[in-house]
């Protein structure tokens, strides 16, 4: 039986202004809805402190950063280190999101360095992996995702891997309105869990939470979350709308 607790994580990306952040966090905090899952929000850097203050006031939402530097400190203008994020109360960090891979050319070894920096500073990384449409159409998605796992995630030691949350995000379904079917999601999540079991152990694989990210909405979340190996969702656009995000949270149990 799957005893892993579900997670619903909202990646706000480069959206919202301060007033919209205030309104969204107030709506989430004031909701009388019971949260049967862990809820995390990933605001833009400039709003992290404000959102942490709101989250601490409500007591049921955790806060993560959308990125961190691949080095501990130094002359890296514009970067923010994992240590600095931890210092202000951040608990989680997205690592290897497809948009970072595509737009900023983050490669496997660079992502591996970010994983190590986050863990060294007691941040829980949400490691993102997934294939673009051309790879899916060629039927090579398993090979593609395995390389992401082997060259980045599997550089971690056995005592480190248990702190990681994995998010499978089919790139062809991000911001497109498309989404993987429940069968496609389950197939990939099963594959990822099997790879973790082979590299580490079955016990570790059974403990690690694997989220689905890719146009997850109130209309499809229940079917996706019902899959045995889908442990919640990394939500994009729907996390910007309090009603939609709360609806998705209500389906994760």
Give the residue numbers annotated as catalytic, written as ranges: 97, 169
Structural contact between residues 122 and 64, judged by C-beta atoms closer than 8 angstroms: no
Structural contact between residues 68 and 85, judged by C-beta atoms closer than 8 angstroms: yes
Distance of alpha carbon 46 from its chain centroid, rounded?
A: 19
- What is the helix (H) or strand (E) element at residue 157, kind and residue range? none
- What is the helix (H) or strand (E) element at residue 10, kind and residue range? strand 7-11
Instruction: Label residues 95-117 b or e (16+ Cβ within 10 Å = b).
Output: bbbbbbbeeeebebeebbbbbbb
Distance of alpha carbon 110 from its chain centroid, rounded?
A: 18
Structural contact between residues 91 and 121, judged by C-beta atoms closer than 8 angstroms: no
Angle at 183 between CA 135 and CA 193, to 5 degrees: 75
Contacts of 25 (CB under 8 A, 6+ apart): 41, 51, 54, 55, 58, 61
């Amino acid at each position: 039986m799957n005893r892993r607790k579900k997670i619903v994580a909202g990646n706000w990306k480069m959206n919202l202004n301060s007033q919209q952040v205030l309104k969204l966090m107030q709506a989430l905090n004031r909701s009388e809805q019971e949260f049967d899952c862990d809820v995390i929000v990933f605001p833009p850097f400039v709003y992290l402190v404000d959102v942490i203050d709101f989250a601490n006031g409500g007591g049921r939402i955790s806060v993560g950063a959308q990125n961190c530097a691949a080095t501990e400190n130094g002359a890296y203008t514009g970067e923010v280190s994992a240590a600095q994020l931890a210092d202000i109360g951040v608990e989680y960090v997205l690592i290897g999101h497809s948009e970072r891979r595509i737009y900023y050319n983050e490669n496997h070894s660079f992502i591996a360095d970010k994983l190590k920096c986050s863990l060294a500073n007691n941040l829980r990384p949400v490691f993102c992996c997934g294939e673009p449409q051309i790879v899916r159409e060629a039927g090579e998605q398993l090979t593609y995702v395995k390389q992401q796992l082997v060259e980045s995630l599997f550089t971690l030691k056995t005592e480190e891997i248990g702190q990681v949350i994995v998010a499978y995000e089919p790139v062809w379904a991000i911001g497109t309105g498309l989404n993987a079917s429940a069968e496609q999601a389950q197939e990939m999540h099963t594959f990822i869990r099997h790879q973790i079991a082979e590299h580490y152990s079955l016990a570790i694989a059974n403990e690690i939470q694997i989220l689905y990210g890719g146009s997850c909405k109130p209309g499809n979340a229940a079917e996706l979350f019902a899959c045995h190996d889908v442990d919640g969702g990394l939500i994009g656009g729907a996390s910007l709308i309090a009603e939609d995000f709360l609806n998705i949270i209500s389906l994760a149990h």
